[in-house]
Structure formats: C-alpha cells, structure tokens
Amino acid sequence: MAEDQPGARPSHLNFITGNANKLAEVKAILSSIPGLELESRDVPGDEIQGSIEEIARDKCRRAAAVVGGPVLTEDTALEFTSLKGLPGPYIKHFLSALGHDGLNNLLAAYPDKTATTVCTFGYCAGPGQEPILFQGKTQGKIVPARGPRVFGWDACFEYEGETYAEMDKNHKLEILQSLGLADAAGRGSDITYVANAISHRGKALAKLKSWLAGGDVETL
C-alpha cells in the first residue's frame, strides 16, 4: 500500500518525545514491525484545553505540521469517576501542584474512588492529514500512595490490589506477555516505561503495533 493512501502504514515515524527512555522502549516494542524506522523529535508547543481526544488530535496535527512528515504522539490522562472524568487531561497540573495526597483529597467528599487511566497514541501521516488515535484504558482506584514514588501518579493508582508503583517485575512481565509486548523468554521485561503504566499504555501500544503491522484494530 502506498504511504499516501488512506490507511497506508508508515515505514518511518517521528515519535514526539524529549525522553530518551520512552523512545528506546517504544522502539524495542515496535522493532518487530518489518522495515519500520522510529526516531524521536522534540516539538515544543502548548497543549490545548478540551477533551482527551481533542487534545491528542491537536497535538498530533501540529507535530506533523512542524516535522513535515509522519509523527507519533502520546498522551496520558487520569479520569476520576466521581469528578465526571476530571482532572482527566489536566492530571499533570494537579499532580505537580497537589501531589499524591492532594489527588486523594479531591475525592474526600465521594465514596467512589474509582479512576480510569487513559493512554492515547496519535498517528498523523503528515501535514494536513487527519490523525488516527489508539487508546488504551484501565480501571482502578485512587488510594493513598504506596510503593516507590518515582513515576507520576503510579503510587496512588491501584489496579487489582496493587498500586502501579508496587507491581513487581514478574507481574509486569506477565501483563506485557499477555499483550504480546514481551516474549516467553522474558525479553521485554526491562521495559520500565511501559511497565510502569502497563495496562493503559500497553493496551494502546498493542493496538498501535498491530495496526502498524497492517492489522485492523479499533481506532478513534
């Protein structure tokens, strides 16, 4: 399929990130796609306000315009059920201002502490093209922080009894394997960036990977 046809798969992708670890890990995961080259580009620019999907599409579209070619973007949101999905795409501002305790405090008035993590990868073929979104979601709940407080809100998001920060390497590997992102020999188990928000990011990446390989997956 030619790259300028709708639905064509790219052979070259600019992953919009300033984070070398993210690039290395997404590269490792997508390395099984034949002929796909992935490099990183750091595109400055402000995210807009809006829904998760509006923000992702805008970011992806702008990046493609700046890069002048195919781009891959990533966004993470954390939706609190009791707050009708908020802070959602604004979670990073709330985490940095309020910390883990503050995130818990936002729900003090509500018995329902459930939350959904949403990871959205966006692909845009080039300037003026409509982005395609690959989304992964995981339901869990907001709890007082447990485990190493290293990655974002990992320590206060509990999934099946463990916070993301507490989840041990073997458990992460199992999930990676179940998503086809690590092999039976355990290769992929060192993928900490994906593993640390494994369910939502892993699901989104699994969709993206399958699509890049020519498969039909649910996109937005």
Give binding residues as ranges: 17-22, 47, 59, 75-76, 151-154, 172, 200-201
- Note whether 178 and 193 are within 8 A (CB): no
Residue 83 binding a second copy, by CB under 8 A: yes
State the Cα–Cα distance between residues 178 and 65, nearest whole angstrom.
36
Segment near a second copy (CB under 8 A); pick from 2-10, 50-58, 124-132, 181-189: 50-58
State the Cα–Cα distance between residues 107 and 118, nearest whole angstrom.
19
Q: Choose which of 1, 2, 20, 108 interacts with a second copy (CB under 8 A).
A: 108
CA dihedral 199, 52, 88, 173 (to 10 degrees): 10
Residue 94 binding a second copy, by CB under 8 A: yes
Q: Choose which of 36, 66, 67, 86 interacts with a second copy (CB under 8 A).
A: 86
| Burial 29-52, CB ≥16 within 10 A → b, else e | bbeebeebebebbebeeeeeeeeb
> Minimal distance in Å, beta carbon 107 to a second copy?
9
Q: Pick the closer one to a second copy by CB: 3 or 54.
A: 54
> Minimal distance in Å, beta carbon 167 to a second copy?
27
Q: Choose which of 48, 68, 112, 160 interacts with a second copy (CB under 8 A).
A: 48
Collapse the DSSP code of 206 into the 3-class scheme (helix H, G, I; strand E, B; otherwise coil) and give the result: helix
